[in-house]
Amino acid sequence: MLARAFALLAVLAFVAPAAVTPAAANAGVRVGLLTCDLDGGIGLIVGSRKTMTCFFNGNAAPDETYLGSTTKIGLDAGATAEGKLVWAVFAPTSRMEPGALEGRYYGVGAEATFGVGLGANVLVGGFDKSINLIPVSLQGQLGANVAGGLEYVRLRWQKPAGVFKN
């Protein structure tokens, strides 16, 4: 049974993003990349929550830092070490205000890990639910885990420290 669940989630990790990517990409302009360092954690069978630190590298804007968390609701059993997520960011316009990615994102995700693992998730949210986060590469992580279901991500913009003049 576990082998079937593992195989199904591995297939979902590749099929779900491919099915959603064209529709989401048509909804806006690619404005940059969001790279997140994901903390390790333990899946609690029906879900999990992990914290992350993200860096947005905008096409026409200074780099930004976001702190956040990802919550999965669905099958999530096992433990993982730290991981990395990389999303292409699509928005309605190429002009992004500082902190524009702050907000809540919802979507679907799947991952399968035994030693080295892969996962993917497609999310929509942010300002007025107008920002799409599309995986540009699969999530990479170490551990033993099988997960799939609904995913919720919360991003909080970290304002840059001010520059003080003497």
Sequence spans of domains, the chain = 2-158
Q: Tell me, what's the pLDDT at 43? A: 66
Q: CB of 34 within 8 A of CB of 133?
A: yes
Q: CB of 157 within 8 A of CB of 101?
A: yes
**Cα–Cα dist 116/37, whole Å:** 16
Q: Tell me, what's the pLDDT at 53? A: 97
Q: How many CA atoms lie within 13 A of 52 on its CB side?
A: 25
Whether the per-residue pLDDT at 128 is higher than 50: the answer is yes
Cα angle for residues 38, 111, 53 (degrees, 5° grid): 10
When pLDDT is averaged across residues 103-127 and rounded to a whole number, the result is 71
Confidence bin at 124 (pLDDT 50/70/90): confident
Confidence bin at 28 (pLDDT 50/70/90): confident
> Does the reported pTM lie above 0.75?
no
Cα-Cα end-to-end distance for the chain: 67
Q: CB of 105 within 8 A of CB of 128?
A: no
Q: What is the pLDDT of residues 88-100, one digit of tens each?
A: 999 998 888 899 9
